[in-house]
A and B are shown apart, each in its own frame.
Chain A
Amino acid sequence: MRGERLVKLGAIAGGAALVVVLGFTMTDYHQYQGGIVAYYLIAILGLNILTGYTGQISLGNGAFMAVGGYTTAILCGHHGWPELATIPVAAAVAGAAGFLFGIPALRLAGPYLALATFAIAVAVPSLAKRFDHFTGGSSGITLPIHTGHYLYWASWICAGIGYVVAWLVLRGRTGRAFRAVRDSEVAAVSSGVNLASYKTLAFGISAAYAGVAGALLAIGAAYTNPDTFPVTLSLYLLIGAVVGGLGSLWGVIFGALFIEYLPIYAQKTYFGFAFSKQAPSVVYGLVLILIMLVAPTGIVGLARRLRRSI
């Protein structure tokens, strides 16, 4: 047990060192991509707390990213706030939205919850177009432009904080309650877990993470409009969470790397054979189905299984 703990600490230190080194050595373009990986990581971390640890499926976390993104864009673009100062506000606003959504969602389970969350993800672009007074409608809101270096550091520092917070939340009483709700609601209630408050809490935390990710997305793109947060964003987050492994904090990084880099590599030419622009979607879909078939616990679960069998 002790050895395992040392290995884990070593992995964390190594990972953190790698992030820092890359932040000084990579080209600006690659740092920009690295920043995107970090905010995907934050969003997937949030989704994992809700879906992986508490067992409540959400196909709509992209909607909470939109809430965070628009909070940042409005404060920064319309009211002249400094970008970084808007991130906590984006987390709070999105978190509150998630908490509020979590209350009616208490009545829904399984496929019904999937439907309801899918519905909010689909509604976001049309709502942003309708209430153009706040959101700038289709023409969107422009933010100050930054370097890839700036996004990289902003995102990874947020990701680091997010990781530590997630670990602290999940290791103790709250995390135990989350897992109890996931594994058996009946058993959880009979051992004194308040179902309603823990479920809404999970929604709130998950949405706050999404809000931070959305804020960083807006800062990185230096622009938001209704199509910045399409339905596919929510679906990609789910894909990322599943690829990494639901219910594991380690896998999140693989999920984030996967959804950021797969489209980039899938569009290159291999052996003279060029895939189409649509190839990433085909691969995403195939991978998602195959993972559910072969390794429903994602990359981390697969690694764990391999280690046991050796």
Chain B
Amino acid sequence: MQQFLQQVVSGLASGGVYASLALALVLIYRSTEVINFAQGEMATFTTYVAWQLGHWGVPFWGAFFLTLAFAFVFGVTIERVVIRPFERGPVLTVVIVTIGLLVLLNGLDGWLWGAEIKSFHSAFPTRPINIGGVAFSLQDIGVIAVSLLAVFLLWLFFRHTKVGLAMRAAAVNPDSARLTGVRVGWMLALGWGLASMLGALSGLMIAPVVFLDPNMMQVVLIYAFAAAVLGGLQSPAGAVVGGLLLGVMLNLLGTYVHPVTPELRLPVALLVLLIVLLVKPSGLFGRAVVRKV
């Protein structure tokens, strides 16, 4: 039982990281039907920025918030400069462009900071805490708290601010939104900025665990894809639930089902992805899209 609880909590912690990145993917997909293959690399880049700030002597939380601010500007800039020319292009073109961005940023990380692994300080102490006779890692609990807080803030933003409403309108029906005076183009850029911030958050939380290197987020990105598809690519709530569910499920499978060795964690996540795509492409929370021909 003790082992079970520990595994669930640490699964929720990795799930929180997957959920943040999955939410970033969903934010972009909802408004433009673009799957951003570069989301993980954008997150890695911003995490390197945080590392650099720390290296220059900026205290942790200062670097944390500066990085989030940088991530926002970074995301907005990428949308305005790189993505915008392809807004109305075919799916294939946009996918290829985000892949170009993936390859470009990955090379840039290695160019600027070198390919060797860097250690990254955690915001939370690594010592365990004892609750009811079960030892939990404080870091896991901190990560869960940060991801839930981020999701809550985002929900408040979309639910209770005028900009949030405008962004939702731009995503659901761009033409009508434009007619009521919403600047749809900027709303999309704003969405990229927010997504980039969420990605930075996931990078900052995973870096102390897996160490920082240019390929850090590649695996996380796949888990985030699986989480987003599991919850439904259209549904932000689904991305969060999907992320947490996936984190816990992978941990429990790894602990109790012996053929699932650590090497198989990734293929199992991919299997989840494929099965959901084939059986219920709209995911757990999404609505099926009806296409008129």
Query: In the complex, A235→B103 CA distance in Å?
Result: 9
Tell me which residues across on chain B come within 8 A of A296, comparing CB atoms: 89, 93
Tell me which residues across on chain A come within 8 A of B261, comparing CB atoms: 130
Query: In the complex, A281→B101 CA distance in Å?
Result: 10
Tell me which residues across on chain A come within 8 A of B264, comparing CB atoms: 126, 130
Per-residue interface assignment for chain B, residues 255 to 284, with 1 indicating a CB less than 8 Å from any chain A CB and 0 otherwise: 000000101111100100110011001000
Say whether chain A's binding surface is mostly helix, strand, loop, or mixed. Answer: helix
Query: In the complex, A238→B89 CA distance in Å?
Result: 18
A288: contacting residue among B100, B218, B263, B267, CB under 8 A? B100
Query: In the complex, A303→B103 CA distance in Å?
Result: 26
Q: How large is the interface on B (under 10, 10 to 19, 20 to 34, 35 or more residues)?
A: 35 or more
For the complex formed, measure the closest distance between the CB of A53 and the CB atoms of chain B, giving whole angstroms. Answer: 13
Q: Report whether A115 and B34 are in contact in the complex, using a CB–CB cutoff of 8 Å.
A: no
Query: In the complex, A114→B93 CA distance in Å?
Result: 12
Q: Report whether A111 and B110 are in contact in the complex, using a CB–CB cutoff of 8 Å.
A: no
A122: contacting residue among B108, B222, B229, B293, CB under 8 A? B222
Query: In the complex, A87→B267 CA distance in Å?
Result: 28
A119: contacting residue among B93, B105, B225, CB under 8 A? B225
Query: In the complex, A108→B244 CA distance in Å?
Result: 25
Chain A, 272-310, CB within 8 A of any chain B CB: 276-289, 292-293, 296
Query: In the complex, A37→B24 CA distance in Å?
Result: 38
> Is residue B37 contacting chain A, with contact meaning CB distance below 8 A?
yes
> Is residue B57 contacting chain A, with contact meaning CB distance below 8 A?
no
Q: Report whether B103 and A122 are in contact in the complex, using a CB–CB cutoff of 8 Å.
A: no
Q: How large is the interface on A (under 10, 10 to 19, 20 to 34, 35 or more residues)?
A: 35 or more
Tell me which residues across on chain A come within 8 A of B105, comparing CB atoms: 285
Given known A-B contacts A104-B278, A186-B293, A231-B218, A111 and B82 have beta carbons under 8 A apart? no
Q: Report whether A130 and B35 are in contact in the complex, using a CB–CB cutoff of 8 Å.
A: no
Chain B, 95-122, CB within 8 A of any chain A CB: 95-97, 99-111, 115
Q: Report whether B108 and A116 are in contact in the complex, using a CB–CB cutoff of 8 Å.
A: no
Given known A-B contacts A119-B270, A186-B293, A289-B101, A278 and B278 have beta carbons under 8 A apart? no
Per-residue interface assignment for chain B, residues 207 to 218, with 1 indicating a CB less than 8 Å from any chain A CB and 0 otherwise: 000000010001
For the complex formed, measure the closest distance between the CB of B68 and the CB atoms of chain A, giving whole angstroms. Answer: 25
Tell me which residues across on chain A come within 8 A of B93, comparing CB atoms: 292, 296
Q: Report whether B96 and A292 are in contact in the complex, using a CB–CB cutoff of 8 Å.
A: yes
Given known A-B contacts A116-B273, A285-B102, A278 and B266 have beta carbons under 8 A apart? no
Query: In the complex, A122→B261 CA distance in Å?
Result: 17
Tell me which residues across on chain A come within 8 A of B82, comparing CB atoms: 289
Q: Which of B89, B105, B115, B277 has the most CB of A within 10 A?
A: B277
Given known A-B contacts A239-B103, A284-B107, A292-B96, A126 and B266 have beta carbons under 8 A apart? yes
> Is residue B91 contacting chain A, with contact meaning CB distance below 8 A?
yes
Tell me which residues across on chain A come within 8 A of B225, comparing CB atoms: 115, 118-119
A108-B277, A110-B91, A116-B277 provided; 6 other pairs, C-beta below 8 A?
A59-B99, A112-B277, A123-B270, A289-B97, A292-B100, A293-B85
